[in-house]
Structure 1
Amino acid sequence: RNSGSETWDSNGQPEVSLHPAARRLSSRALLSQTSPLCALEELASKTFKGLEVSVLQAAEGRDGLTLFGQRNTPKKRRKSRTAFTNHQIYELEKRFLYQKYLSPADRDQIAQQLGLTNAQVITWFQNRRAKLKRDLEEMKADVESAKSVGAVAFEKLAKLAELEKCAAGDTKEKGLFRDEE
């Protein structure tokens, strides 16, 4: 029965030489397994369980996100939009007419007068400059459009006038206009 390097256990089964890592498994786990494949499976599952925990802990340490992109802690709620009063808008618009950019002193003064924070005044002026830029670009596009339509319309009017002249000339020659006789 004993052929070369193989050894046999008391049940007549070949003894398996385990990798040192597999030997470290608890004796209870090894006793409950029936084959080397089961022992390998047990070793792999324990290894991956340890890996999963360390990967998840590392992922959770990064900016509050878990491995699947979900937040551990709830995101801070944004401050609600400021509803400016008509008086505040009037004063801000009035100032914007002659001053597109404010100095820090002017900003402080307006904020205090209107009961707003510096950040609100800064944001209002930034938004208003952006709106002005959009409006100017839209007006420029409208003017360009009107120019191109105007040129086409002018050409059509010129052709129409020419046709009317031709038509008038034809009718005069035929004596169709009574007032010209």
Structure 2
Amino acid sequence: APVRLPEKAAGPRGGGSAPASPLCALQELTSKTFRGLELGVLQAAEGRDPPGGAPGPRPPCKKRRKSRTAFTAQQLRELEARFRRQKYLSPADRDALAARLALGTGQVITWFQNRRAKLKRDLEELRADVASLRALPPAALRQLAAMPDPPPP
């Protein structure tokens, strides 16, 4: 049944028990609901019955989230190589790549979205590094330039 909100809400210091706005009413309702749930969960964990005797009808279970894809090294090499050449795939290219790598099209779509987001983050970090270097005085820049390169890993 839909929740009915009070038609006249009392002001913040109006003295009435009605919430100040529909948003406040919603917050009050959810906080009471969650407080009740928390209490029931705690009591169930302790082996006691939740308040009100037996638990009421349980809400339908949420759909389980799909597990994280573990790409093989070969799949990652091919995905990275394709990404270097082409940041966005046409549906035909995407389907062909997915079939060749034995992946679902959704996995290829998600991988490319995540890889573009990573590229964007990396570029923003690089821009910030360059900006901070530009802010250094010339003497500090010369000192940095004179430093030896670190050994390769």
Q: Does 1:97 align with 2:99?
A: no
Q: What amino acid is the match of 2:87?
A: K
CA, structure 1 residues 90+59, in 2 after alignment: closer, same or farther (shift >3 Å)? same
Q: Does 1:145 align with 2:132?
A: yes
Displacement of 1:154 in angstroms is 6.0
Displacement of 1:152 in angstroms is 6.3
The separation in 1 between residues aligned to 2:137 and 2:79, in whole angstroms, is 38
1:63-78 alignment to 2 at 5 Å?
68=33, 72-78=59-65
Q: Does 1:109 align with 2:96?
A: yes
TM-score (norm 2): 0.55
The separation in 1 between residues aligned to 2:141 and 2:101, in whole angstroms, is 52
Displacement of 1:113 in angstroms is 0.2
1:120-135 alignment to 2 at 5 Å?
120-135=107-122
The separation in 2 between residues aligned to 1:97 and 1:143, in whole angstroms, is 23
If each structure's helix is expressed as a fraction of its own residues, which one has the higher value?
1
Higher RCO structure, 1 or 2 (CA under 8 Å, sep 6+):
2
The separation in 2 between residues aligned to 1:155 and 1:108, in whole angstroms, is 51
Correspondence for 2:72: 85
Of all paired residues, the percent bearing the same amino acid is: 61
SS at match of 1:102: coil
The separation in 1 between residues aligned to 2:72 and 2:111, in whole angstroms, is 13
Structure 2: 5+ residue runs without aligned partners? 4-29, 38-57, 144-153
SS at match of 2:135: helix
Superposition RMSD in Å: 2.6
CA, structure 1 residues 154+79, in 2 after alignment: closer, same or farther (shift >3 Å)? closer
The separation in 1 between residues aligned to 2:134 and 2:99, in whole angstroms, is 47
CA, structure 1 residues 84+155, in 2 after alignment: closer, same or farther (shift >3 Å)? closer
TM-score (norm 1): 0.47
The separation in 1 between residues aligned to 2:127 and 2:63, in whole angstroms, is 41
The separation in 2 between residues aligned to 1:119 and 1:154, in whole angstroms, is 47
Whether the aligned pair in 1 keeps the contact of 2:133 and 2:141 (CA below 8 Å) is no
Correspondence for 1:63: none
Q: What amino acid is the match of 1:125?
A: F
